[in-house]
């Protein structure tokens, strides 16, 4: 399940295991104890303060006790907490910078950030919701009964559900970049944890779409009605998503542990998808009648074989990068292509060897076609603000909240 699960196995009571990765979860952050009540007492109704604090503490306890594995319970608590939390972001209440929100890494339990900004808290909550959704996809793609088996069998329904969940996770992250980061002041934004920088969030979002397309390509390979053109398009789209993910991440600081592992994952999947794209492009070119078509096809097959070999090396480097993980047994399209690409490359090279000698000038790798990308993140919107914020119970020591804040502002702004 990525960085989080491997370290949790070390920190928790479970025996040390090397977790299997199908869907990579770059990093999971959970809330740390923060004194919400102390900062808000007297400014908003006590029951609302208690609810904010209680919900946040519930998230902390569930996440710590389960290592993030109680996904449904955590998601419900996060969604309820988010609807209450939104009230702190409203400018009319003047509470945006009052509470210092603390977060820590699930991997090592060390505090990662302490930021007095409610939009930072919203960003962190949505990031955690995205990581939990990725973890859920990983669970879907790893059958419960898979011990000792080198063949991965996942139902088509589970794969389609996994794609839907990936689009949901991507939607959370896209919303973070588009609507949350822009509300955080520059002086705070530049000191955010690396995993919350816009380039990293965009990279994860594209990576998620790439993995969704990877699952779709696997479904197409299993479908007898799927044409070569459909398979080529999906492979090229997958390549485009991972290319964009790599581009976003290449401009970020990835020298931290999970950052290095993350970029190797993207390299691995980029090479796999490029191998698949050249393989299917070669099959289509090979249907042509001209000798040049066969030469170009062989060039594609040989390129696919070399890329597949490079992807195996990248996979090994990813698995060995800290924290150590292991790749899942071959599944989806790659289970098919790991057998077919070397076989077809060898057979076609022998079949058209004489053409390769005659048409040396034409031995250039053809460009892959470009397609409009099909998968889009789900359109996420923040939940409605909790009705408690409009309850009319705004009294603090005999005066309304707005009057209290106005008096405080007057005191600050009035010169001596």
- Cα angle 64, 68, 7 (rounded to 5 degrees) comes to 80
The 8 Å CB, 24+ separation contacts for 336-345 are 336/221, 337/275, 337/276, 337/279, 337/308, 338/308, 340/279, 341/275, 341/279, 341/301, 341/304, 341/305, 341/308, 342/305, 342/308, 344/279, 344/282, 344/283, 344/301, 345/298, 345/301, 345/302, 345/304, 345/305
Any idea which residue has 């520059």 for tokens?
186
| β-pair type (20-21, 326-327) | parallel
Compute and round to an integer the Cα radius of gyration of the chain. Answer: 26
d(CA 8, CA 63): 11
Single pTM value for the model: 0.88
Closest CA to 201 of 109, 124, 315: 124
Please list the pLDDT of the chain residue by residue as tens digits (416 residues).
344 443 333 344 445 678 888 999 988 899 998 888 888 988 888 889 999 999 999 999 998 887 667 888 999 999 999 999 999 999 888 899 999 999 998 877 777 889 999 999 999 999 999 999 999 999 999 877 655 556 778 899 999 999 999 999 999 999 999 999 999 999 999 999 999 999 999 999 999 999 999 999 999 999 999 999 999 999 999 999 999 999 999 888 877 768 899 999 999 999 999 999 999 999 999 999 888 899 899 999 999 999 999 999 999 999 999 889 998 889 999 999 999 999 999 999 999 877 777 666 556 889 999 999 999 999 999 999 998 887 555 544 334 445 544 544 444 444 44
Q: Sign of torsion, CA 351 357 359 363?
A: positive
Which pLDDT value is given to residue 9? 38
Q: Are 206 and 241 spatial neighbours (Cβ–Cβ below 8 Å)?
A: yes
Any idea which residue has 């859920």 for tokens?
136
Max CA distance (Å), the chain: 95
Any idea which residue has 């470009």 for tokens?
370
Query: 257 is written with which tokens?
Result: 């542990």
Question: Please, what are the domains in the chain?
Answer: 1-143 (1.25.40.280)
d(CA 238, CA 280): 13
Query: 178 is written with which tokens?
Result: 């588009």
List, as one string, the DSSP characters of 95-163: -TTTS-EEEEETTT--EEEEE--HHHHHHHHHHHHHHHHHHHHHHHTS-SS-TT-SS----HHHHHHHH
Cis peptide before 100 (omega within 30 of 0): no
């Amino acid at each position: 399940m990525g960085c989080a699960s491997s370290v949790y196995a070390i920190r928790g009571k479970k025996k040390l295991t090397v977790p299997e990765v199908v869907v990579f979860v770059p990093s999971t952050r959970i809330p740390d104890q923060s004194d919400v009540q102390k900062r808000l007492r007297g400014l908003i109704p006590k029951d609302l303060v208690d609810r904010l604090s209680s919900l946040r503490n519930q998230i902390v306890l569930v996440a710590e006790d389960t290592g993030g594995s109680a996904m449904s319970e955590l998601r419900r608590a996060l969604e309820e907490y988010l609807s209450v939390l939104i009230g702190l972001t409203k400018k009319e209440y003047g509470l945006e910078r009052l509470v210092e929100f603390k977060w820590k890494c699930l991997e090592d339990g060390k505090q990662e950030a302490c930021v007095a900004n409610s939009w930072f808290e919203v960003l962190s909550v949505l990031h955690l919701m995205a990581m939990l959704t990725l973890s859920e996809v990983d669970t879907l793609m790893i059958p419960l009964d898979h011990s000792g088996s080198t063949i991965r069998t996942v139902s088509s329904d589970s794969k389609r559900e996994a794609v839907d969940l990936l689009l949901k996770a991507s939607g959370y992250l896209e919303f973070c970049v588009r609507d949350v980061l822009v509300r955080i002041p520059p002086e705070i934004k530049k000191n955010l944890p690396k995993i919350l920088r816009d380039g990293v969030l965009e990279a994860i979002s594209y990576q998620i779409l790439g993995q969704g397309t990877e699952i779709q390509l696997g479904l197409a390979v299993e479908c007898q009605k799927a044409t070569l053109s459909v398979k080529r398009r999906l492979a090229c789209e997958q390549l485009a998503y991972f290319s964009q993910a790599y581009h976003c991440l290449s401009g970020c600081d990835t020298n931290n542990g999970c950052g290095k592992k993350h970029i190797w994952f993207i390299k691995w999947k980029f090479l796999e998808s490029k191998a698949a794209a050249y393989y299917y492009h070669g099959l289509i070119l090979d249907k042509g009648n001209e000798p040049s078509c066969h030469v170009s096809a062989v060039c594609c097959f040989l390129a696919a074989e070399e890329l597949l070999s490079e992807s195996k090396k990248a996979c090994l480097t990813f698995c060995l990068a800290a924290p150590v993980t292991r790749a899942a047994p071959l599944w989806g399209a790659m289970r098919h292509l790991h057998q077919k690409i070397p076989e077809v490359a060898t057979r076609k090279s022998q079949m058209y060897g004489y053409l390769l000698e005659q048409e040396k000038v034409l031995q250039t790798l053809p460009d892959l076609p470009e397609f409009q990308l099909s998968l889009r993140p789900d359109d996420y919107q923040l939940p409605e603000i909790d009705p408690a914020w409009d309850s009319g119970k705004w009294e603090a020591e005999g005066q309304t909240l707005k009057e209290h804040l106005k008096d405080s502002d007057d005191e600050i702004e009035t010169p001596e």
